[in-house]
Amino acid sequence: MDRTLRLIPTESTPAAELARTIEALLVVASQPLPLEELASAAEVDPSQVEQALEVLAERFAEGHSGIVLEHVAGGWAFRASAAAAEACLRLFDKPAEKGLSQAALETVAIVAYLGPVSRPEIARIRGVNVDGVVAGLAERGLIAESGRDDEFGAIRYRTTQLFERVFGLESLTALPRVDDLGTDVAQIRERLEAVAEKRPA
Amino acid sequence: MPVAVRELELDLDAFEGPFDLLLSLVLREELPLEEVDLAEIVIAFAGHLQAKGELDLDACGEFLVLISALLELKARAMFPEEEAELSELEPEAAAEELARRLAEYRRAKEAANWLRERLDERRDIFFRLGPAPLAPKAERKLAPQEPLELAAALRGLAVEPPEPSTAHMALRFPPVSRFLDRWRAILRRRARFDFDQEVAGLSRVEVAVAFLALLELCKQDEIAIAQAGSFAPIRISRADAERTLSWTAHSA
């Protein structure tokens, strides 16, 4: 029994022990764990957890391991390596994002940018009734109820942690800036006028 | 497939339902047109057209006629005195509003496209989902207890409850007449007696029936009943003996 299998680091420095503790917490968690939660569970300083996470990120990286550490939805979580996607797909479905329609994507985008937002407000932007789409997104767990409209009492919705996870966002601030999206009012105005001018008199 | 303009479903602040119904309500003056956001109807129609995926010119024409009639009605209702000014102001403001809304919707579409790309990039990413295998640690609400003490407390509760008594089912009520005879017999020998003394040793039921017999005799004026106070001994005397006594008292 002289030859120790060296796949798993067995050093017992405090840093290595902390890395193992963080690893264990991430295995047990069912959703991404924020830095502060990891620190309070391990009873160490957040900066120490950061260091441990660096060690783990290297160990659990694409190409190194079947398990990959990622910073997502405001915390740290393990996921499967992309290299194993085909095998995963043979066993598992992705119910949260499978078959999301264009209407659903537009609606979830509006909720992500404007949330908490009520159905009438979404409908005003999309110009159609959104009751069914909103119900579907809530069922998938991508959006959730978040209080009520002050004025009319309509239920408001926000995106969930699962939404950020499915779309691989560290947080909602990872969404592109509104100004970077689409054309601005003046441009649309110009286009409307251009169409109006082409109209036969 | 033509777009049925009149069946266009609307979800406005002031109105929810088919376009056709909105028209009839407005024409019958049951819905003030000032409260209806006409731009929303245009956007709803545009959304409807887009959802259909093809341009139906007949439907567009019909819609234009209807919506411009509504716009004119609304304008007249809002600015009855300023029709001249209106013709210059209203289209400008309307165009501005339409452009603003189109821009808002365009941004939502762009954001949706960005999310779609994101989803494609994440196509090969799998992660564990589902209910938490472990719940977050809950606060312990109960005071810590010694198992032995808990067991002892439980043991007191775990005994067989006593059999309910069915004794009353076998009760036999003695006839009232038996005590009527008995009280009369005593009063033949003595002028008065003490109820408690006479019923000492009898069962509760017998005492009750004996008391009923007393009430019966009292009703028939055969006896007089006296009691000094609550729970004091009940004294029974012959009715005529009582009279004799009161006479004595009077004569004294």
Answer yes or no: is A1 within a domain.
no
Q: Chain B closest CA to A101's CA: distance in Å?
A: 10
* B64 interface with A at CB cutoff 8 Å: no
Interchain CB distance below 8 Å, A169 and B118: yes
Answer yes or no: is A96 within a domain.
no
Q: How many domains does chain A have?
A: 2
Please name the residue of chain A whose CA is at the shortest distance from the CA of residue B126. Answer: A80
Residues A30 and A83 in one domain: yes
- CB-nearest partner of B51 from A85, A123, A128: A128
Residues A176 and A106 in one domain: yes
- pTM of the shown model: 0.51
| Residue of A152, A104, A127, A126 lying closest to B10 (CA atoms) | A127
- CB-nearest partner of B133 from A30, A166, A185: A30
Torsion of the alpha carbons at B165, B169, B175 and B178, rounded to the nearest 10: -30
pLDDT at A158: 94
Residues A73 and A107 in one domain: no
pLDDT at B116: 92
A197 falls in which pLDDT band (50, 70, 90)? low
Strand pairing report for A155-159 and A117-118: antiparallel
Residues A60 and A143 in one domain: no
**B10 close to B16: Cβ distance less than 8 angstroms:** yes
pLDDT at A164: 93
Interchain CB distance below 8 Å, A127 and B105: yes
Domains of chain B, each with CATH number or no CATH: 5-120 (no CATH), 172-251 (1.10.10.580)
Answer yes or no: is A110 within a domain.
yes
Residues A85 and A112 in one domain: no
Q: Which residues of A touch B18 (CB under 8 A)?
A: none
Q: What percent of chain A has pLDDT over 70?
A: 85
Answer yes or no: is A181 within a domain.
yes
- Say which CATH number the domain at A23 has: 1.10.10.10
Residues A130 and A78 in one domain: no
Residues A108 and A78 in one domain: no
The identity of residue A5, as a single letter, is L
Residues A191 and A108 in one domain: yes
pLDDT at A76: 94
pLDDT at A185 over 80: no
Residues A125 and A189 in one domain: yes
Where is pLDDT greater, at A107 or B106?
A107
Answer yes or no: is A29 within a domain.
yes
> ipTM score of the complex?
0.77
pLDDT at A110: 92
Mean pLDDT in chain A?
84
pLDDT per residue as tens, chain B (252 positions) = 344 666 777 777 667 777 777 777 777 777 777 777 788 888 888 888 888 777 777 778 878 878 887 887 777 766 555 444 444 456 667 677 777 777 788 888 888 989 999 999 888 888 887 665 555 566 666 777 788 888 888 888 888 888 888 877 777 778 888 889 999 999 888 888 999 888 888 888 888 899 999 899 988 888 888 888 888 888 998 887 655 554 444 443
Domain extent, residue A21, equals 14-90
**Could you report the per-residue pLDDT of A25-41, keeping only the tens digit for each?**
998 888 899 999 999 99
Residues A67 and A122 in one domain: no
- Domain end, chosen from A28, A57, A90, is at A90
Answer yes or no: is A95 within a domain.
no
Answer yes or no: is A37 within a domain.
yes
pLDDT at B245: 53
| Residue of A22, A95, A70, A127 lying closest to B104 (CA atoms) | A127
- Domain end, chosen from A90, A120, A146, is at A90
Residues A86 and A131 in one domain: no
What's CA B88's distance to the chain center, in Å?
Answer: 59
Answer yes or no: is A27 within a domain.
yes
Q: How many CB atoms lie within 10 A of CB B18?
A: 16
- Domain end, chosen from A25, A59, A90, is at A90
**Could you report the per-residue pLDDT of A50-98, keeping only the tens digit for each?**
999 999 999 999 998 999 999 999 999 999 999 998 898 888 888 888 8
pLDDT at B96: 73
**Could you report the per-residue pLDDT of A133-158, keeping only the tens digit for each?**
999 999 988 999 998 887 778 899 99
Residues A117 and A160 in one domain: yes
pLDDT at B161: 82
pLDDT at B137: 61
Question: Is-cis flag, bond preceding A120, omega within 30?
Answer: no
